[in-house]
Structure 1
Amino acid sequence: MCEYHTGMAAQLTAEEVRSFVDRITAGVCPDDPAAQVDVVAALETLKCAASAVQAEVSVVYDARRRADEAAAGVGAACRGRGVASEVALARRESPHRGQVLLGLAKVLHAEMPHTLARLRDGSLSEFRAMLLARETACLPVELRMFADEETCADPTALDGVGTRELVGRIRRLVAELDPAAVARRARKAASDRNVTVRPAPDTMTYLTALVPVAQGVAAYAALRKAAEAARAAGDPRSLGQLMSDLMVARVTGAADTGSPEAAPAVPVTVDVVISDESLAGGHAPAEVSADGVPAEVVPAEVARNLLAQAIDQPADSEVINWFRCLYRNRLGRLVAMSTRSRFHTKAMGEFLALRGAGICATPFCDAPIRHNDHITPVADGGETTADDGQGLCQACNHAKQAPGWRQHQVGHPVDRHQVETITPTGHRYTATAPAPPGWREPRYVQAGPGRYQLIA
């Protein structure tokens, strides 16, 4: 158990932690260079120790919640539901990250006490502790505890050890302890293959495929061979550009256009949200999104080019274009959307996704929207309206079904859509819908006593 709840040790309180934070942030930087480096090192130790305490407190809270729910008659399969989301909110992380951190805390507490001790004394960071837990996950508990002792029992053994060396150490040890487990993990890893997309600078994205090594090497070699052949035939594009364009062409089934500015037609719906001012030549950025892909901010000129290319299609093109008007009020809140069909569930779901830029409405969650959710449950009188609706990821929608979770809309009806989440412990978190493209918050300056002037 967490030592703050055992023996004669005084309980740690949030007020004490906040007071200490105020103390160190208000401190003056020392003049001596050596002392400055010492402060940096001491703060790094503090960060590691704080991560250890967070892990221990999270484990205690999870156990307490499960015990209380068991006493209340909650089924074993439902106990602890939502705890990871509570941890995520408290740590300002996504629900997925909260699940990972809570899982790490449980593993360190129950199976890797030496790693937890090194985290507490600052010899390991939370990131490195997570790597050790991940690399030993395939081992039985007794072997995992042995690997933990071999690797982290002696703090001096970690002096000067980099992340790559530490991971190499634990991988070699795991392979020696249980080669069959490593082989099973390798076979299971093939089932985790997937494709992900994430933003990159300058209106680019990283399209990443996680595939078995043989397939990955074969795909890369095939793209490189085709790109080298095109280069030998006189194509002016670089090797990297050719491989990128060939991959897009082969995945989408469209012909290689030879230019990133004239991307091949892709048989999916792509939403370009742009203000009327920017469409007419303004400079406010726009957003580009697709089903299951959060919105990405792009410059107005890029958005206008995308729209122009979509409209300027040959007569026999299969590309279909249509325009819809999204209406915002004077405070930048999206309030309605026009459509060629009546306002039904699908259209409302599209509106909720556009209002939230395709991102889950839960605070700190960056996952794409998967579910259209009633803020006030239908069983409690919630209505199927835009005001009582929000877009959530699957994990957040399931988490709010746990006992003790509540949500309601806050703020004036004409303000931007806001939802307050209240967790079982009474903590409150507010999520505000992002501003639509082209909107700038009004800025005022004081022009005189009691007088303010709008400047932007």
Structure 2
Amino acid sequence: MGVAAGVASRSAAASVTAFRTSLADVPVEDLDDRERIDLLTELERLKGAVAAAQARATDAFRRSHEKAAPQDAARSVGSQVALARRESPTLGDRFVGMARALVHEMPATMAALTDGDIGERHAVEVVRETATLTREDRTEVDRRLAGVLPRLGPRAAGRAARRVAAELDAASVVRRMEAAAASRRVSVRPAPDGMAWLTVLAPLRDAVGAYAAVRARAQLVVGGGCDDEAPDGRGLGAVMADTATRLLAGLAVGQVQPVEVHLVMTDRALLGTGDPAASVDTPARIPGHGSVPAPVARRWVRDAGDASVWLRRLYTSPDGRDLVAMDARRRLFTGLLRRMVVLRDDVCATPWCDSPVVHADHVHPARNGGPTSLANAAGLCARCNLVKEAPGWQVVVVRGSPHELEVRTPTGHLHRSLSPPLLGWGSNPPPDDESVLERHLAALLDAA
């Protein structure tokens, strides 16, 4: 039975692989426009059917794992599913929960997804809006929406599910809103073009009130009604953004933000010195946020005014790809080593996680004799640092420069992650032939 099941599973995966590769041979140039639209329609329906198949496979995997290792099931399953779907562990957990709800509690939504009448986003919205309901109430929401889901967009489907949920169990919806208020927070994430989104998640009335106050102040500035601040050519939106960030930072008008930003750039790009063959326009990088054009980085340094600007030399491999040492004059060795790990790995070293680095952890555990060295370190988020300790997980260093990890999951699947070039992906360094100098510097650092 076990051999037959293994052959069947390989056959299923091989069949899907063959179908996927066949899509590249679809003769789109030979079709007329009507046929192309028909093809787009069917491919979109296929996405829903694929999501349904993934949900069934995910739930079967969850149930199997819970029988084998119930104490570690939730975290380990979510992380393995995330690796398979090439997304973050948080999204992996979300898909595991959605799969469970679809397979066991929402047959009509699952049928619509299987038939391609709705997409994965529809299912995500409906499952999320019914998360606090009992199994019976969730099934009732599913029954009521069965006939209308294919007519709705994802957001409309979520609103419809929320309305029925509030009707069936108003108390659970109130508890959910109270829990949401307790989770209020401020977060920041990178945006394109050297910008960032600063998000304040707060109760609706408080957020609307704060927005109205910032807007009123900005309207006064733009209208020339403020003696302490001029618009200086800024529009209403720009003044609102400047006002909000200034007030949150507790700064006076015109005061420089006194915060440490790890801006990594070449000496040539910053000062015009160094290798004359190097470009003065090599982009800088902020670990965890991405690249910044060299002129913008220079302007940030120049506009710092009277604020302190600290320069720290980073010693790289001869090709400039990898960080091998850095000045330690402002930090103890432990703090410096952790900073090097963050600078090297940029974000969590688990493939496709992309969460900020929280833990600088031993790849080969210290309890088993693993050294506290840059080569044996990995920058990980808290979730990935914990899950790798679960039974069946193994992480090893494949090579030291560039730093490459291999992650083995309990199912035996292998995934590799590579630390980015020091200046970020796309900086296109030469081939990484390890030199005598690089090995010497790395050995000195490990021996320190």
Number of the residue aligned with 1:16: 15
Number of the residue aligned with 1:194: 185
Number of the residue aligned with 2:121: 127
For 2:258 and 2:270, the matched residues in 1 are separated by 24
State whether residues 245 and 256 of structure 1, in contact with CA within 8 Å, keep that contact through their aligned partners in structure 2.
Answer: no
Query: Which of residues 232, 243, 252 in structure 2 aligns to 1:246?
Result: 243
> How many angstroms does 1:266 deviate by?
2.8
For 2:9 and 2:364, the matched residues in 1 are separated by 41
For 2:94 and 2:428, the matched residues in 1 are separated by 36
State whether residues 364 and 376 of structure 2, in contact with CA within 8 Å, keep that contact through their aligned partners in structure 1.
Answer: yes
For 2:415 and 2:271, the matched residues in 1 are separated by 38
For 1:27 and 1:403, the matched residues in 2 are separated by 44
> How many angstroms does 1:28 deviate by?
1.6
Structure 2 matches for 1:375-394, cutoff 5 A?
375-394=363-382
Which moves more between the two structures, 174-183 or 427-436?
Answer: 174-183
State whether residues 112 and 150 of structure 2, in contact with CA within 8 Å, keep that contact through their aligned partners in structure 1.
Answer: no
> How many angstroms does 1:12 deviate by?
5.7
Structure 2 matches for 1:124-273, cutoff 5 A?
124-152=118-146, 154=147, 157-233=148-224, 235-236=230-231, 237-257=234-254, 264-273=255-264
Query: Which of residues 313, 316, 325 in structure 2 aligns to 1:336?
Result: 325
Are residues 1:437 and 2:423 paired?
yes
Which moves more between the two structures, 422-431 or 320-329?
Answer: 320-329
Number of the residue aligned with 1:450: none
Query: Which of residues 96, 104, 108 in structure 2 aligns to 1:102?
Result: 96
Number of the residue aligned with 1:67: 67
Which amino acid is 2:310 matched to? W
For 1:188 and 1:17, the matched residues in 2 are separated by 42
SS of equivalent residue, structure 1 residue 363: coil
State whether residues 118 and 150 of structure 2, in contact with CA within 8 Å, keep that contact through their aligned partners in structure 1.
Answer: no
For 1:342 and 1:274, the matched residues in 2 are separated by 20
> How many angstroms does 1:85 deviate by?
0.7
Aligned-pair RMSD on alpha carbons? 2.1
Number of the residue aligned with 2:36: 36
State whether residues 45 and 122 of structure 1, in contact with CA within 8 Å, keep that contact through their aligned partners in structure 2.
Answer: yes
SS of equivalent residue, structure 2 residue 75: coil
> How many angstroms does 1:405 deviate by?
0.8
Number of the residue aligned with 2:343: 354
SS of equivalent residue, structure 1 residue 421: strand
For 2:331 and 2:40, the matched residues in 1 are separated by 61
TM-score, structure 1 normalization: 0.85
> How many angstroms does 1:159 deviate by?
4.0
> How many angstroms does 1:399 deviate by?
1.1
For 2:149 and 2:131, the matched residues in 1 are separated by 21
For 1:139 and 1:375, the matched residues in 2 are separated by 41
Which amino acid is 2:75 matched to? R
Gaps of 5+ in 2: 273-279, 432-448
Deviation string 1:261-292 (CA, Å, 9 cap, x unpaired) is xxx43343211111122113400100135xxx
State whether residues 252 and 267 of structure 1, in contact with CA within 8 Å, keep that contact through their aligned partners in structure 2.
Answer: no
Gaps of 5+ in 1: 70-75, 258-263, 314-318, 444-456
> How many angstroms does 1:309 deviate by?
2.8
Distance 1:382 1:108, change over 3 A: same
Which amino acid is 1:24 matched to? L
Which amino acid is 2:111 matched to? A
SS of equivalent residue, structure 1 residue 199: strand
For 1:325 and 1:220, the matched residues in 2 are separated by 42
> How many angstroms does 1:218 deviate by?
0.9
State whether residues 62 and 73 of structure 2, in contact with CA within 8 Å, keep that contact through their aligned partners in structure 1.
Answer: no
Which amino acid is 2:236 matched to? L
Number of the residue aligned with 1:279: 270
Distance 1:159 1:140, change over 3 A: closer
For 2:125 and 2:154, the matched residues in 1 are separated by 9
